[in-house]
């Protein structure tokens, strides 16, 4: 086959690994390795070890777009453009929800896939790619490659009927409640008018009564009665004296028997 992927003058006497299948690494004692494959002649030891880990993730269908992007970078830098295109094709075989969750990476990898297809002259696969992948992979009409089928023009959906702008209905403003009037304090009442004539008549009637009471006090008629004298309370007799108890020393001591 032609040297489609060879670049930068690294291995011009060696053919690139053909696609479209991804070259899967094999298991080794220290991980995954590509030793003994056609890719081992194009990369150094460290790059080959990293590429083996990435290619294993691509073959296993990892859901991280960075794995496919990094593997495509290493392969394209080493002149392995067919394998880089196979890695990008493997990304677009993932479920739709994974690509929708990484929309930025999906658009970037789709444009890169389209550029590699144009450079290698490879038409997009029919029937295996989803609508989003085909839409990203197909070249534009201005960049169409001779010998490849032209893409069908996209069918525009029918335009929706124009909506008539209706004036917005402003709801009526709620009526404000009338303010509660402040309580009016009661009007102070005026004192009743003084009847001086009635007061004079009352004073004339009370004057002889007061004079009679004063005369009774002078005669002693209104003196309070004397209170009767009460007999004195009986006094308790003093307690009888109790003689002290005789002690042992006060008792007579009998003489001894021998001295009688």
- Over residues 89-133, the pLDDT tens digits come to 989 989 999 899 999 999 999 999 999 989 888 877 665 444 444
**Predicted pLDDT at 139:** 46
The answer to whether residue 238 is domain-embedded is no
Type and span of the H or E element at 32: strand 31-33
Structural domains counted in the chain: 1
The answer to whether residue 196 is domain-embedded is no
Highest mean pLDDT among 1-5, 122-126, 160-164, 236-240: 236-240
**Predicted pLDDT at 128:** 47
Q: What is the pLDDT of residues 124-163, one digit of tens each?
A: 766 544 444 444 544 444 444 555 555 566 666 666 666 6
The answer to whether residue 214 is domain-embedded is no
Q: How far is CA 180 from CA 44, 176, 187, 219, in A?
A: 92, 12, 21, 73
**Predicted pLDDT at 21:** 66
The stretch 1-29 carries a mean pLDDT of 52
The answer to whether residue 5 is domain-embedded is no
The answer to whether residue 120 is domain-embedded is yes
Question: Are residues 20 and 117 in contact, defined by beta-carbon separation less than 8 angstroms?
Answer: no
**Predicted pLDDT at 166:** 67
Question: Are residues 88 and 71 in contact, defined by beta-carbon separation less than 8 angstroms?
Answer: no
E strands, the chain, in order: 26-28, 31-33
- Quick count: other Cβ atoms within 10 Å of Cβ 145? 12
Strand partners, 202: none
Highest mean pLDDT among 60-64, 163-167, 221-225, 244-248: 60-64
Per-residue pLDDT at 190 exceeds 80: no
**Predicted pLDDT at 194:** 66
The answer to whether residue 160 is domain-embedded is no
The answer to whether residue 59 is domain-embedded is yes
Confidence of residue 68 (pLDDT cuts 50, 70, 90): very high
Highest mean pLDDT among 24-38, 53-67, 139-153, 215-229: 53-67
Query: Structural domain of residue 105, as residue ranges?
Result: 37-143
- Report which of residues 231 and 6 the model is more confident about: 231
If you average pLDDT over every residue of the chain, what do you get? 72
What pTM value is reported for the model? Answer: 0.42
**Predicted pLDDT at 162:** 60
The answer to whether residue 224 is domain-embedded is no
């Amino acid at each position: 086959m032609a040297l489609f992927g060879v670049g930068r003058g690294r291995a011009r006497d060696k053919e690139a690994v053909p696609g479209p299948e991804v070259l899967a690494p094999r298991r080794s004692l220290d991980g995954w390795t590509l030793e003994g494959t056609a890719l081992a002649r194009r990369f150094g030891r460290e790059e080959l070890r990293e590429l083996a880990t990435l290619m294993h993730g691509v073959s296993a269908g990892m859901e991280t777009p960075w794995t496919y992007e990094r593997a495509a970078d290493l392969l394209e830098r080493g002149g392995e453009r067919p394998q880089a295109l196979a890695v990008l094709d493997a990304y677009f075989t993932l479920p739709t929800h994974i690509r929708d969750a990484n929309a930025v990476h999906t658009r970037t990898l789709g444009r890169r896939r389209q550029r590699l297809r144009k450079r290698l002259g490879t038409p997009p696969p029919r029937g295996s790619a989803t609508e989003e992948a085909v839409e990203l992979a197909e070249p534009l009409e201005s960049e169409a490659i001779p010998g490849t089928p032209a893409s069908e023009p996209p069918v525009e959906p029918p335009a929706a009927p124009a909506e008539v702008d209706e004036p917005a209905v402003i709801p009526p403003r709620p009526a404000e409640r009338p303010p509660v009037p402040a309580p009016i304090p009661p009007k102070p009442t005026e004192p009743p008018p003084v009847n001086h004539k009635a007061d004079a008549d009352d004073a004339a009637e009370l004057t002889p009564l007061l004079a009679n009471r004063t005369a009774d006090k002078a005669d002693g008629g209104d003196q309070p009665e004397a209170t009767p004298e009460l007999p004195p309370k009986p006094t308790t007799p003093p307690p009888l004296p109790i003689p002290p108890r005789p002690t042992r020393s006060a008792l007579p001591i009998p003489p001894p028997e021998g001295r009688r």
